[in-house]
C-alpha cells in the first residue's frame, strides 16, 4: 500500500489489511520528502517502532543533487530506533535488490519466518549504537 503522507484516510480503515511494516521513503534530492516523513512519523503508533518501521533513502547515487544532510537521516534512524536502507531506485539493479530486502524484512515482521521476530531489527540497531 502506498501513501504520500500519514495519516491514512480513515474512510478505508475497515478495508485495510493488517500493517506489518512501514517503510518511509526519503529522496535525498528533496528536502521536502524529509520534512514530509518527519511530519508523518507522528501518526505512527509506538508499537511499530519495535522493528516494524524502516527508512528507505533513495537518490544516493548522485552526490551532486544532495539536498538532504546525511546527519539528519542518521539521527532519524537513531531517534526512532529503526534501520535506514540506502538505495538508488532509479537504477534497476538497486530497485530489485531493495525490493528483495524489503520483502525479507516484511516476511519477518509478519511472523512468517520461524525463530526471527521484528524485534531483532531494533536490537541490531542498538548494538551498532553501543559500538
Partner 1 sequence: VEGVARTLLSFGRLSRGLPFGRAHGLSSRDPLLPLAPRSQENADPQRTAFLLRKQWTLYSVTPLYRFSNAHLRDYARLLSAFIAAEKQKGLAVEVGVELDIKVAVSSLPYLKGSDQDQAAILVQLSSRSPASPKNSEEKLIWSGWFCCVSGDDLSKNVPEDFTCLPLFLVNGAECYTSIVGSWFQKTFDCSFRRLAISPLILSWMAAMWTGCKVDKTASAMELVFSVPCLPQPLDISYAIHPEDAKALWDTVQKTPGEIIQEEVDVFMDCLYSHFHRHFRIHLSATKLVKVSTAIASAHCDGIIKFLQSQYLTGVLMLLTELAISQIE
Q: Which residues bind partner 1 (CB under 8 A)?
A: 28-33, 35, 63-72, 74-75
Which lies closer to partner 1 via its Cβ, residue 71 or residue 127?
71
d(CA 27, CA 109): 24
d(CA 110, CA 11): 24
Residues 6+ apart with CB under 8 A from 111: 117
Which lies closer to partner 1 via its Cβ, residue 11 or residue 130?
130
Which lies closer to partner 1 via its Cβ, residue 2 or residue 15?
2
Sign of the alpha-carbon torsion through 28, 131, 52, 79: negative
CB of 8 to partner 1, least distance (A): 21
CB of 93 to partner 1, least distance (A): 20
Compute CA 112 distance to the chain's CA centroid, rounded to the nearest angstrom: 19
Which lies closer to partner 1 via its Cβ, residue 36 or residue 118?
36
CB of 39 to partner 1, least distance (A): 12
CB of 13 to partner 1, least distance (A): 28
Residues 6+ apart with CB under 8 A from 31: 67, 68
Amino acid at each position: 500500500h502506498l501513501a504520500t503522507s500519514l495519516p491514512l484516510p480513515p474512510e478505508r480503515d475497515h478495508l485495510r489489511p493488517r500493517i506489518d511494516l512501514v517503510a518511509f521513503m526519503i529522496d535525498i534530492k528533496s528536502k521536502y520528502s524529509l520534512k514530509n516523513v518527519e511530519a508523518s512519523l507522528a501518526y505512527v503508533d509506538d508499537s511499530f517502532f519495535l522493528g516494524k518501521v524502516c527508512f528507505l533513502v533513495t537518490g544516493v547515487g548522485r552526490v551532486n543533487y544532495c539536498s538532504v544532510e546525511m546527519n539528519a537521516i542518521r539521527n532519524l534512524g537513531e531517534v526512532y530506533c529503526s534501520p535506514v536502507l540506502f538505495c538508488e531506485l532509479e537504477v534497476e539493479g538497486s530497485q530489485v535488490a531493495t525490493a528483495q530486502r524489503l520483502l525479507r524484512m516484511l516476511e519477518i515482521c509478519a511472523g512468517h519466518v520461524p525463530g526471527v521476530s521484528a524485534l531483532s531489527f531494533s536490537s541490531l540497531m542498538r548494538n551498532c549504537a553501543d559500538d
